[in-house]
Structures are given as C-alpha cells and as structure tokens.
Amino acid sequence: MIRLAISKGRILEQAVTALEKVNILCQVNPMNSRRLIIPTNMDNLEIIVIKASDVPVYIDSGKIDLGIVGLDTLMEDDKNNHFRLCDMTISKCKLAVAGKAKTKYFNNMKVATKYPNIAKKYFENIGFQCSILELYGSIELAPVLGLSDFIVDIVETGKTLKENGLRVHDTITKVSSLLIANRVSYKIKRKEINSFVDRIKL
C-alpha cells in the first residue's frame, strides 16, 4: 500500500483534479468529507489529508510514502529528509516581501510572517537584520496597523495587497506543489512509486 499525503485547501482541490485526469479517483470526496484517509480506485493507493506543515513530518516518520506539498512548506521546514520526484505544476504562486510603497528596508525592521525561517534567511542574505513576528492569519493587517514594517507571505494575484495599500517589494521564490517521497519508502517501493509517477506525468 502506498500512502499519499496531500495538503489541505487549494493544493488538495487541484491535486485531486490532476489525479482525476489520469483516472485516479477518490472513492470519497475529500473536499466535503471529514474522513482523513481516503480510499481510491487503485487497490494499492490511499490519500491522507493533512495540514501542509505536517506533510514533511509524516514523510520523515515513514508513516506516509508520498506527499504533495508546496515548495514554500519544504523551504520553511528545511529538512533534507525526502526525494523530490516531480513538480505537479499546480497551486502556482510566489513567496514575496510586501509592505507599504514608500517603506525601505532597514536593520532591525519588523517582519510579520508564517515563514520565520525563510524570512530571516532572506533578509540576512541581503544584509539586513530583522525581528520576526509570527502570524497565521490576515498577515496583511500587520503593516497596515503598524504592527510590522513588512510581511513575507504567499502572493497569488496581488489583489489583497493592493486593496490594503501594500505592494510587493521583492519576490523570494516562485512556488508550486511538488511530489515528494520518503527516502526509505522510495527504496523499498521503488517500482510502485515510479509507476505512480509515470502515470501522473502522462
């Protein structure tokens, strides 16, 4: 049995659609079911629905063989505990620094983000020290209300930023969702995993 973990939310929706295109079908709709383990029409494949930040943890544990998760999550987790098998080319966006138009970078600025490791490393690499404020919802409010000078967050269209008087200052990286594998699982179940990868690449 191969267990495939998929991040909740937009990635799950787009991943299920991508799997359906190659006739891999969920027997229960994961978007409106409370079930976390979803059987498929393949006898040897089940889908596990979990929070994005938990995907690398489960992959590392070996309890789950494969995962579909955003590059941003893997960068923040920063563990080399998996193989990156392919880019699913879904859930595309960018990880960016945003703030008010006239605000400039300066040492000891405050940065609000749910990506503390990525943000700290990015600003250190360009020569600035910063204080990280971890937030997990409505991050755009932080610079608007003066709680932070900048934010580091996922940007899709930029509409939310614009409507709140903010703009992108720098793009840290482009993001899409990757298919990853537990290293031991890949060695033990290489044939089955490669067969799955070949199928979704069609």
pLDDT tens digits for range 10-31: 999 999 999 999 999 999 999 9
Q: How far is CA 37 from CA 76, 132, 198, in A?
A: 26, 36, 23
Listed in sequence order, the DSSP H helices in the chain are 10-21, 55-61, 71-77, 116-125, 141-144, 159-163, 183-188, 190-200
Q: What is the mean pLDDT of the chain?
A: 95
pLDDT tens-digit readout, 38-74: 999 999 999 999 999 999 999 999 999 999 999 999 9
**Which pLDDT belongs to residue 82?**
93
User: What are the start and end residues of each CATH 3.40.190.10 domain in the chain?
Assistant: 2-91+176-200, 93-175
Closest among 112, 167, 171, 170 to 141, alpha carbons compared: 112
* Rounded Cα gap, residues 136 and 159, in angstroms: 19
Q: Quick one: fold of 93-175? A: D-Maltodextrin-Binding Protein; domain 2 (3.40.190)
CATH 3.40.250.10 describes domain 2-91+176-200: no
